[in-house]
Amino acid sequence: MTRPTVLMPARMHDVVVDGCAERFELVRLWEATDPDALLAERGADVRGLATGGHHPVDAALLDKLPNLQIVANFGVGYDSVDVDAATERGVVVTNTPGVLDDEVADTALALLLMTVRELGQAERYLRAGRWAAEGHYPLTDLTMTGRKLGILGLGRIGEAIAKRAETFRMTVGYHNRSEKDVPYRYYPSLLEMARDVDTLLVVVPGSAATRHLVDAEVLEALGPDGVLVNIGRGTVVDEAALIGALKTRTIRAAGLDVYEDEPNVPRELIDLDNAVLLPHVGSASKPTRRAMGRLVVDNLTSWFTDGRALTPVNG
Ligand code: NDP
């Protein structure tokens, strides 16, 4: 039996490259000297596509792959894939949910702790020799215990964050489009939640519907002791409004793992002392990335052997 042809536009984790090369005929577009010519020559053979989000999977690319059946995305967020265009063409799209929840939740709590307790700034103080020269790092204004946390996007990762936040003795509420059967207060309105909490943690997917949900009004509602943490997608927060709110101390501080135009982070944000900035490392440990890679390969394998995707996001 001929092996299904799988296209990989950009290089992915070794687990995916090796797993695909073992089971399928792998077309490595990133190695081609003329990618357009390779697509024109091999496009009709391609039945599967593996992507890590660094290369947009849009209608223009899908049109070059008339026999494509499945797009397997590395990552639970699949905003670089035009799912509507895929669905119109009868193409199933899969992601990697579940295997990264704990890692991302751990990172979110670490980012929150760093932001509230100024841990990054304190470490830089020591490394600059200022402890010995100037004495103790100043006491932080804020503390974790008793903070009121509002989670925007109480899904798989949001729930893992909520459980951790409870052990930090924070009160937890959330805003989704629909209420869930969970022991946390539901806010039908994001603005209403922002008015009621002092800590807003963003973990919704990036999409047209979530773009700039966190705007100047929501930030102002958080108040002067307000802390924003974004581990979801950069597009959910109006970055210019956030920079303004941090500069004017409309909110106290922000901890960010994601940005509107990655990997470009505005100089203004980098220069702010009340922002903790991580380079999109939410799920970035070797064990978790291996588990994500295995799920990409398993989705493709299951589709081509049983006609069933393990974790589809459409259909
Ligand atoms: P889930 O699908 O399990 O949860 C998403 C939640 O967001 C749901 O509860 C959903 O509830 C809510 N939601 C979706 N759209 C809206 C909206 N328009 N308004 C309000 N709430 C909304 O996803 P995961 O928890 O698995 O992942 C969440 C996101 O985290 C990913 O999509 C990704 O962007 C990001 N992520 C970031 C990582 C990083 O490295 N920083 C790593 C992994 C994920 P409802 O449908 O009821 O609205």
Res. 36 pLDDT band, cuts 50 70 90: very high
Say whether the ipTM exceeds 0.95: yes
* In contact, 304 and 48? CB cutoff 8 Å: yes
**Is residue 233 among the annotated active site residues?**
yes
Does residue 40 register a pLDDT over 80? yes
Measured at the CA of 64, the angle between CA 58 and CA 70, to 5 degrees, comes to: 65
Q: Distance between CA atoms of 277 and 61, rounded to whole angstroms?
A: 33
User: What is the Å distance from ligand 1's center to 156 Cα?
Assistant: 8
pLDDT digits (tens, 9 = 90+) for 132-142: 999 999 999 99
- Three-state DSSP at 26 gives strand
* Closest ligand 1 atom, residue 153 Cα: 7
Q: Are domains 5-99+287-306 and 101-277 of this chain identical in fold?
A: yes
* In contact, 232 and 205? CB cutoff 8 Å: yes
Does residue 283 register a pLDDT over 90? yes
- CATH ID of 101-277, from 3.30.460.10, 3.40.50.720, 2.60.40.10, 3.20.20.70: 3.40.50.720
What integer pLDDT is reported at residue 53 of this predicted model? 86
Average pLDDT over residues 86-108: 98
- Three-state DSSP at 105 gives helix
Does residue 54 register a pLDDT over 90? no
| Cβ < 6 A, ligand 1 pocket | 76-77, 97, 100, 104, 153-158, 175-178, 203-206, 209-210, 231-233, 257-258, 280, 282-283
What integer pLDDT is reported at residue 315 of this predicted model? 75
pLDDT digits (tens, 9 = 90+) for 63-73: 999 999 999 99
Average pLDDT over residues 250-266: 98
pLDDT digits (tens, 9 = 90+) for 99-134: 999 999 999 999 999 999 999 999 999 999 999 999
**Is residue 136 among the annotated active site residues?**
no
- Enumerate the domain spans of the chain: 5-99+287-306, 101-277
Average pLDDT over residues 234-261: 98
Q: Radius of gyration over alpha carbons of the chain, in Å?
A: 22
What integer pLDDT is reported at residue 239 of this predicted model? 98
Average pLDDT over residues 291-309: 98
User: What is the Å distance from ligand 1's center to 187 Cα?
Assistant: 16
Question: Average model confidence (pLDDT) for the chain?
Answer: 97
DSSP labels, 144-168: STT-EEEEE--SHHHHHHHHHHHHT
**Is residue 280 among the annotated active site residues?**
yes
106 — phi, psi (to 5°)?
-60, -45
DSSP H or E segment with residue 133: helix 130-134
Res. 1 pLDDT band, cuts 50 70 90: low
pLDDT digits (tens, 9 = 90+) for 183-213: 999 999 999 999 999 999 999 999 999 999 9
Catalytic residue among 42, 89, 164, 280: 280
* In contact, 43 and 29? CB cutoff 8 Å: no
Please choose, from the candidates 312, 304, 300, 286, the residue with its C-alpha nearest in 3D space to the C-alpha of residue 13. Answer: 286
Res. 175 pLDDT band, cuts 50 70 90: very high
Superfamily, domain 5-99+287-306? NAD(P)-binding Rossmann-like Domain (3.40.50.720)
Res. 180 pLDDT band, cuts 50 70 90: very high
Q: Identify the DSSP state of 198.
A: S
Does residue 8 register a pLDDT over 70? yes
What integer pLDDT is reported at residue 182 of this predicted model? 98
pLDDT digits (tens, 9 = 90+) for 222-246: 999 999 999 999 999 999 999 999 9
What pTM does this model have?
A: 0.97
Mutate to test the pocket of ligand 1, among 73, 76, 186, 283 (most ligand atoms within 8 A of CB): 76
Instruction: Please list the residues that pair with 229 across neighbouring strands.
Output: 201, 255
